[in-house]
Structure 1
Amino acid sequence: MSNILVTGATGGLGKAVIENLLKTGSPDQLSVLARDPAKAADLQAQGVTIKQGDYNDYASLVAAFKGIDKLFLVSGNDVPNRVPQHTNAINAAKEAGVKHVVYTSFQRKTEDGSSAAAFIAEAHLITEKLLKESGLTYTILKNALYLEVLPLFMGPVLETGTIYLPAGEGKVPFASRADMGAAGAAVLTGTGHENQSYDIANNTSYSFYDIAKILSDLSGKTTQYVSPDAEEFGTALVAAGVPAGAIHMTAGFSVAIAHDEFDFPSTTLEKLLGRKPESAAEFLKAAYKL
């Protein structure tokens, strides 16, 4: 195995990548980048090298990336500052002599800024362009929306019996973060992925009508799906005391779903895993203990 460094290793996706790499390879060839190394103590205990670094601190990135062959670059969670942070990471990778960067991007239909999810899209599009122009070998993982966002979007759906979202009849090939982590590890340790862009998604797309039916079947109680317009949705959530930031995020993604912004099912994830990805029914059964 090459010398691999994973950023964002204290977050969900980075941790899933590391867990899968540890199943197949030696920890002495694995490093992680952490702003606060204490938060990665569990990985250090397993023999993984912890390198202190911050996307905002260019020198720390160059030092951390020295001697690394493959960099798994998890997109930063500081959305307004993603572009300068990712620029730092790509330039530091180049300066440090990294050979291959694997970047976690996202699925999308629209690239002209008109999507309801443009607030998320912009930094990913710029980062992909920077990577392709950098001269570095790259693999771009265009990740579907996580199955894990469903409980966040739907709230206490089993109590209310209603999914209330302005997502229309739009469909999404939701996939689990665990499966995406396993696919990321497969790309890092496999061959033939140079300068490729992959849709990392389930091979089935689901509307919220489908999700409501799955929940009804699993629970034995009827779950209905109601799709208001975005304005009505926002008004209802303000009245319920939901914070403005959460309303903006949920409404933006839901309207983008309604426009089929993320509807790109793919068999690539299944091929990388060597098995069927986790289905929405399997995920919801576990998530809601049904």
Structure 2
Amino acid sequence: MSHSPRLLVTGASGALGRLVVEALLERVEPSRVVAAVRDPAKLADLAARGVEVRAADYEQPATLAAAFAGIDRLLLISSNAVGQRLPQHANVIAAAKDAGVGLIAYTSILHADRSPLGLAVEHVQTEASLADSGVPFALLRNSWYLENYFGVIAPALEHGLVFGSAGEGRIAAASRADYAAAAAAVLTATEDQGGKIYELAGDDAFTMAEWAATLAEVGGKPVAYRDLPQADYAALLVQHGLPEGFAGLLADSDVGASKGGLFDDGGALARLIGRPTTTLKAALAAALKG
């Protein structure tokens, strides 16, 4: 591998992908960064800054073969097409192998191998595909994003309630920017990353009752958390306009959190990024400022 490896980020127009590219640009020259996206026009601003933008669609292997040419290290950001992730990821892994990519870093889920969350299934399958590929890989097992809860801030402040099925489960969430910084650190590391497994989580875990109390403090209005049975919470989400499948997934994830599925106190994320992770209070304050 060259002393200045070329680094590619898939899904680079997404919320996480863009942040990873920005984090990479803080570490390396733009000429070393390649942003892969279905529609390159969406990243014209990055192209203007010297980042090479390439077309890549998880469902079109021919685009992947062209996109990965000359790439040394690749970040596979997991697809958002739940239920279709495995074949999409398999296409990326196969194309990366054919292109001679030296490292695939993959955004998995926290403690995927023992996670109680239904979301973990496709991540475990992808991890197995990586192991079978023979390509060196690193696993970035991310816990929850603090941003996952931003959509309920306004209704929680308006009605004084936030609902869920997480019970007393502690959620070690961090910001997307934290996870993006970790991915950039792995892609640019001088130490060999093949075989590394990072369990990445926020420094300060919280229960949903504590989340509500923190929002109340920051927002200046009373907010309480009301725990519901899984089926009732899913039904409530459907009632508020979410598709049934997505509502079920969110309710299942909450129940998984109640079983410890989103908790880790190992501190790997903070060590990897060289600073404390974003606090819940800071994230909520920033969200309220808009």
Specify the TM-score bucket, using the shorter chain as the normaliser: over 0.9
**RMSD over aligned Cα atoms:** 1.9
The residue type paired with residue 130 of structure 1 is S
| Corresponding residue of 1:196 | 196
| Corresponding residue of 1:279 | 279
Cα shift readout 1:126-176 (whole Å, capped 9, x = no counterpart): 111111222211110000110000123566211111111111111110000
| Corresponding residue of 1:25 | 28
Indicate if the aligned counterparts of 1:61 and 1:92 stay in contact, CA closer than 8 A. Answer: yes
Deviation at 1:62, TM superposition (A): 1.5
Unaligned runs of 5+ in 1: none
| Corresponding residue of 2:81 | 78
| Corresponding residue of 2:158 | 159
- Output the CA distance in 2 between the equivalents of 1:109 and 1:92: 24
| Corresponding residue of 1:186 | 185
| Corresponding residue of 1:11 | 14
- Output the CA distance in 1 between the equivalents of 2:79 and 2:239: 32
The residue type paired with residue 65 of structure 1 is F
Q: Percent identity?
A: 38
| Corresponding residue of 2:167 | 168
Indicate if the aligned counterparts of 2:219 and 2:288 stay in contact, CA closer than 8 A. Answer: no
The residue type paired with residue 183 of structure 1 is A
Is residue 134 from structure 1 mapped to residue 102 from structure 2 by the alignment?
A: no
Aligned to 1:80, what secondary structure does the other structure show? coil
Indicate if the aligned counterparts of 1:68 and 1:98 stay in contact, CA closer than 8 A. Answer: yes
Aligned to 1:225, what secondary structure does the other structure show? strand
- Output the CA distance in 1 between the equivalents of 2:261 and 2:232: 21
C-alpha spacing 1:242/1:87, structure 2 compared with 1 (3 Å): closer
Aligned to 2:54, what secondary structure does the other structure show? strand
| Corresponding residue of 2:124 | 125
Deviation at 1:250, TM superposition (A): 2.3
Indicate if the aligned counterparts of 1:110 and 1:261 stay in contact, CA closer than 8 A. Answer: no
Aligned to 2:75, what secondary structure does the other structure show? strand
Indicate if the aligned counterparts of 1:167 and 1:254 stay in contact, CA closer than 8 A. Answer: yes
Unaligned runs of 5+ in 2: none
C-alpha spacing 1:282/1:136, structure 2 compared with 1 (3 Å): same
Deviation at 1:109, TM superposition (A): 6.4
Aligned to 2:269, what secondary structure does the other structure show? helix
Deviation at 1:241, TM superposition (A): 4.7
* TM norm structure 2: 0.92
Indicate if the aligned counterparts of 2:166 and 2:258 stay in contact, CA closer than 8 A. Answer: yes
- Output the CA distance in 2 between the equivalents of 1:82 and 1:234: 23
The residue type paired with residue 71 of structure 1 is L
| Corresponding residue of 1:91 | 94
Indicate if the aligned counterparts of 2:9 and 2:35 stay in contact, CA closer than 8 A. Answer: yes
Q: After alignment, is 212-221 or 202-211 more displaced?
A: 212-221
The residue type paired with residue 68 of structure 1 is I
Indicate if the aligned counterparts of 2:235 and 2:247 stay in contact, CA closer than 8 A. Answer: no
Q: After alignment, is 196-205 or 149-158 more displaced?
A: 149-158
